Amino acid sequence: MQPAATPDRSADLVLRGGVVHALDDAGTTGQAIAVRHGRVLRVGSDAEVAETIVRGTRVIDLDGRAVLPGINDSHLHAAWLGAMWPQTVFGPGGAPDAGALGAAAPEGTDPAAIEATGDPHDTSGAAPLLTTREERRSAILRAGELVASLGITSYTEPGLGPGEDDGATGCFGQDVFEAYAELEAERALTARVTVLGLFGVLDGPSSLRDVLAGLPELRRETARPSRLRVAGVKIFADGIPPMHQAWTHRRYPDGTQGGLLIDGADPDERAAALRRMIREANRLGLQVGVHATGDRTIDTVVEAVEEALAQTRTDLGHYIIHGDLVSPDALARMTRLGMGLNVQAGIAAHTASWVAAVLGDEVAASAWPIRAAWEAGVPVSLSSDAPILAPDWRQGIADADAWIGAPAPGEERDRMLALLRAYTTVPALQDGAAAWKGSLEPRKAADLCVLEADPLTLAPADLPSVGVDLTVVDGDVVFERVPVSSV
């Protein structure tokens, strides 16, 4: 018979006999973890955690497996992913996948032409993938099953709203958010979802009038903000370098320098509108995630955030999405402003040759500077941009490690820790939720995943072959690969 424990120290769930990496500031590692009422109760030795086991506690024997905080994919288009999976825009070899493009691009689109232009997001003219509320609900649930099987307990849906109500795919309009709200009301979502509103066209233009009119709508409350929350707004500031769309200080082979996607009569008017959007969102207490790839665009966004904080001091964690050509000076300023950087290392690896073709090898080699961002003190979140890539964070870590380059001898463990934090604690910071999720500390959310091997004993390149055995959100098991030993 299990010993009786005091009510406030008894666990609902205990995982023991393995290694638990809390990923907290203290570097806590234990053999076991106890969970009570959806919160972490204790991380410690098997003996320490045994004190929390009472009649009714579910006990899972890890048999040497590893426990990590739940994975947070901080840039993942779940409705689009659910509509397309198992296809992705980039196929296994790195080039756009013909089958995926057949689903997401106009009939007759030549995959080779899209590879040449480097515009994997372009879905103009496509037949909609989702047309009804029920189809959108099904796609979200399908994506939820997939991400749960990968140990993902939180994700950011980066861009939903009326700007895409007539969009080509049907995966980004306001009705997608309404589908999310319905599913959350039914307690059907198996991951925490953070949403950014969208008042322009996906990868396309937006107007100052539409964004200013839409921003107040984003202050909508949800029933459980810890499970579904609108954090702020996404702005598409420019395109991508291979299509000569990123606004740069350099010139492309045709002599152009790209430009902003914001409506305006000239570059100065467009830049002024972008700055106004950011200032107003900040004034309203809304986070801004800006799709910005060109160095000139990024400089403009950083200047705008600096202006916004001078007018209304906030701690919202505005951030740059992609940030292909971010400069050392911009990184230093981002650190001072509390800005983050959201990077997809797999996209960097797949498209570096395209950037080199239009801006040269030196620019391509210095693009997506994850190491420089770390050294500057910028919080770097790694993400998938699924379904551009598959939502497999294990491959994302392998891609990021390869992109950064080999660590110095003796620094391999620190490298793996930094990469794991880029999928856990740093995205929690991006979500404004670091106080209650992202690491396995007492009273924080019991969101965790179980791997069949300890990632800190492996090279990042070996991580994709390590299986995810269990995923837990709020103390509830939402995925179990095979029945594990349980008492």
List Cβ neighbours of 310 (8 Å cut-off, separation of 6 or more): none
What is the structure's pLDDT at 121?
57
To 10 degrees, the CA torsion angle through 114, 116, 121, 125? Answer: -30
CA distances from 92 to 12, 346, 390 (A): 41, 11, 9
Question: What does residue 470 show for φ and ψ, rounded to 5 degrees?
Answer: -155, 140
**pLDDT per position as a tens digit, 437-476:** 999 999 999 999 999 999 999 999 999 999 999 999 999 9
Question: What does residue 171 show for φ and ψ, rounded to 5 degrees?
Answer: -105, 0
Task: Answer for the pair 59, 477: CB distance below 8 angstroms, yes or no.
Answer: no
- The amino acid that residue 418 corresponds to is A
What is the structure's pLDDT at 117?
40
- The span from the CA of 421 to the CA of 74, in Å, is 12
Whether the predicted pLDDT of 86 surpasses 80 = yes
**pLDDT per position as a tens digit, 114-171:** 343 445 555 555 579 999 999 999 999 999 999 999 999 999 999 999 999 999 999 9
Q: What is the mean pLDDT of residues 88-108?
A: 47
pTM of the predicted model as reported, rounded to 2 decimal places? 0.92
Greatest CA separation for the chain: 79
What is the structure's pLDDT at 487?
57
3-state secondary structure of 400: helix
CA neighbor of 103 nearest in space, from 85, 76, 118: 85
Q: Which of 20-24, 109-113, 284-288, 396-400 has the lowest mean pLDDT?
A: 109-113
- Please report which helix (H) or strand (E) contains residue 229, including its range: strand 228-236
- The span from the CA of 97 to the CA of 88, in Å, is 7
pLDDT tier at 220, thresholds 50, 70, 90? confident
**Residue 388 CB burial class (10 angstroms; 0-12, 13-18, ≥19):** buried
**Residue 134 CB burial class (10 angstroms; 0-12, 13-18, ≥19):** exposed
Q: How far apart are the first and last CA of the chain?
A: 12
CA neighbor of 22 nearest in space, from 459, 469, 479, 424: 424
CA distances from 262 to 205, 216, 350, 397, 413 (A): 5, 19, 27, 33, 43
- The amino acid that residue 149 corresponds to is S
Pairing verdict, β 29-30 and 19-21 = antiparallel
In the chain, count of helices (H) and strands (E)?
16, 18
**pLDDT per position as a tens digit, 6-32:** 446 899 999 999 999 999 999 999 999
- The amino acid that residue 364 corresponds to is A
Q: What is the mean pLDDT of residues 252-272?
A: 97
What is the structure's pLDDT at 485?
55
The domains spanning 13-69+449-480 and 72-95+109-405 adopt the same CATH topology: no
3-state secondary structure of 18: coil
pLDDT tier at 219, thresholds 50, 70, 90? confident
**pLDDT per position as a tens digit, 222-261:** 999 999 999 999 999 999 999 999 999 999 999 999 999 9
Average pLDDT of the chain to the nearest whole number: 92
Express as a percent the part of the chain with pLDDT over 70: 90
- The span from the CA of 225 to the CA of 340, in Å, is 22
CA distances from 238 to 60, 245, 258, 402 (A): 49, 6, 8, 27
User: DSSP string covering 238-302, please?
Assistant: ---GGGT-S--SS--TTS-----SB--SSHHHHHHHHHHHHHHHHHTT-EEEEEE-SHHHHHHHH
Structure tokens belonging to residue 297: 């665009």
Class of domain 72-95+109-405: alpha beta
What is the structure's pLDDT at 120?
54
Domain ranges of the chain: 13-69+449-480, 72-95+109-405
- The span from the CA of 16 to the CA of 46, in Å, is 6
CATH number of 13-69+449-480: 2.30.40.10
Whether the predicted pLDDT of 4 surpasses 60 = no
**pLDDT per position as a tens digit, 317-374:** 999 999 999 999 999 999 999 999 999 999 999 999 999 999 999 999 999 999 999 9
What is the structure's pLDDT at 98?
37
- The amino acid that residue 23 corresponds to is L
What is the structure's pLDDT at 109?
29
3-state secondary structure of 468: strand
